[in-house]
């Protein structure tokens, strides 16, 4: 049964955006989709979406426009550029940018949207591809409370939780804080498990021994089995996590926040990118320490 309350436009059908859009279709929403990748676009159209011709065309046919794009420049171009969303959006349209971008960009774009009487939320997500597929993402939102409440049902068709953090830009501040913490967890897992392996101790047994204690974490439980299987197929690629940490760095410079550990881990990720591992899952960060120690953490 189709949900007739709101027509949704969805721009950006990548690793995260495609399953998110498919979940909206499963929830019964009317959807118009757009992406530069014809394969992804055709897959979503076959599932029941209409084909968008441009961001402007999508906005002309939508009450709510969701963007899920790689980074700040793409968001600015799609929303504010020639044939962009703001060229076609009606007064009262709501833009939900679910990309992970600079909060500075989010505020800038939202300000331009308001000049067209268009509201905007920044609503980045956490959970990676598996949670995008099963619709259990954690969604962090910045913007006006009344706008958030008006689209909360849409957000919860894609996520297990949607939390309003504060004003526009705060969704991405929360996401960047999340990415700092995930990077720290990944770095500590890599360093600890390579330490154990170098000492001749079975890393899998170390994992099982510590996972229920204070050192246990969601990151450890999610990534360690994949590391042991040498499975670095990306749920969240190193390339994208590096991008997020660059946005942390730029934002920290703007607000004078100290981030010495984040910058250090970002350099490890950049080294792996230079080593041809940009598309490896961010759990593959362990390979930085493996290379230094000349060991490999895997099942015995």
Condensed to tens digits (0 to 9), the pLDDT of residues 95-104 reads 999 999 999 9
3-class SS of residue 278: coil
**Catalytic machinery residues:** 175
pLDDT, tens digit (0-9, with 9 covering 90-100), for 104-130: 999 999 999 999 999 999 999 998 888
Mean pLDDT of 41-48: 98
> What's residue 192's pLDDT?
98
- The yes-or-no verdict on residue 21 having pLDDT over 60 is yes
Token pair of 142, please? 């910045």
> What's residue 275's pLDDT?
97
Mean pLDDT of 77-91: 97
> What's residue 1's pLDDT?
43
Rg (alpha carbons) of the chain, rounded to whole number = 20
> What's residue 3's pLDDT?
52
pLDDT, tens digit (0-9, with 9 covering 90-100), for 188-226: 999 999 999 999 999 999 999 999 999 999 999 999 999
Mean pLDDT of 223-231: 98
Q: What is the DSSP string of 119-183?
A: EEEE--EESHHHHHHHT-EEEEEES-HHHHHHHHHHHTTTEEEEEEEESTTHHHHHHHHHHHHHH
Q: Is 104 left (phi over 0), alpha (psi -120 to 50) or beta?
A: alpha
Contacts of 52 (CB under 8 A, 6+ apart): 9, 11, 32, 33, 34, 58, 61
In Å, what is the CA distance from 221 to each residue of 204, 225, 254? 12, 7, 35
Structural domains in the chain?
3-167 (3.40.50.720), 173-293 (1.10.1040.10)
> What's residue 187's pLDDT?
98
- The yes-or-no verdict on residue 2 having pLDDT over 80 is no
Q: Average pLDDT over the chain, rounded to whole? A: 96
Angle, alpha carbons 254-271-241 (nearest 5°)? 50
Angle between helices 203-210 and 218-228 (to 10 degrees): 160
> What's residue 128's pLDDT?
87
């Amino acid at each position: 049964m189709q949900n007739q309350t709101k027509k949704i436009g969805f721009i950006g059908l990548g690793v995260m955006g495609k399953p998110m859009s498919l979940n909206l279709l499963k929830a019964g929403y009317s959807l118009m989709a757009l992406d530069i990748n014809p394969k992804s676009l055709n897959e979503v159209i076959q599932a029941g979406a209409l084909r968008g011709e441009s961001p402007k065309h999508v906005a002309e046919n939508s009450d709510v426009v969701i963007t899920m794009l790689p980074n700040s420049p793409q968001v600015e171009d799609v929303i504010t550029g020639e044939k962009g969303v703001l060229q076609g959006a009606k007064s009262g349209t709501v833009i939900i940018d679910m990309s992970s971008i600079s909060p500075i960009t989010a505020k800038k774009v939202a300000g331009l949207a308001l000049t067209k009487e268009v509201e905007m939320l920044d609503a980045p997500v956490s959970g990676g591809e598996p949670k995008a597929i099963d619709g259990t993402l954690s969604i962090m939102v910045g913007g006006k409370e009344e706008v958030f409440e008006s689209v909360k049902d849409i957000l919860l068709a894609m996520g297990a939780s949607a939390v309003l953090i504060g004003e526009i830009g705060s969704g991405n501040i929360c996401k960047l804080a999340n990415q700092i913490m995930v990077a720290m967890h990944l770095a500590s897992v890599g360093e600890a498990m390579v330490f154990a392996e170098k000492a001749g101790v079975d890393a899998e047994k170390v994992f099982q021994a510590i996972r229920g204690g204070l050192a246990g974490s969601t990151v450890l439980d999610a990534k360690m089995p994949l590391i042991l299987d040498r499975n670095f197929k990306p749920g969240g690629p190193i390339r994208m996590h590096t991008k997020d940490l660059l946005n942390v760095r730029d934002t920290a410079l703007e607000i004078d926040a100290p981030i010495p550990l984040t910058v250090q881990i970002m350099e490890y990720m950049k080294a792996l990118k230079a080593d041809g591992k940009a598309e490896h899952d961010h759990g593959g960060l362990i390979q930085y320490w493996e290379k230094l120690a000349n060991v490999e953490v895997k099942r015995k």
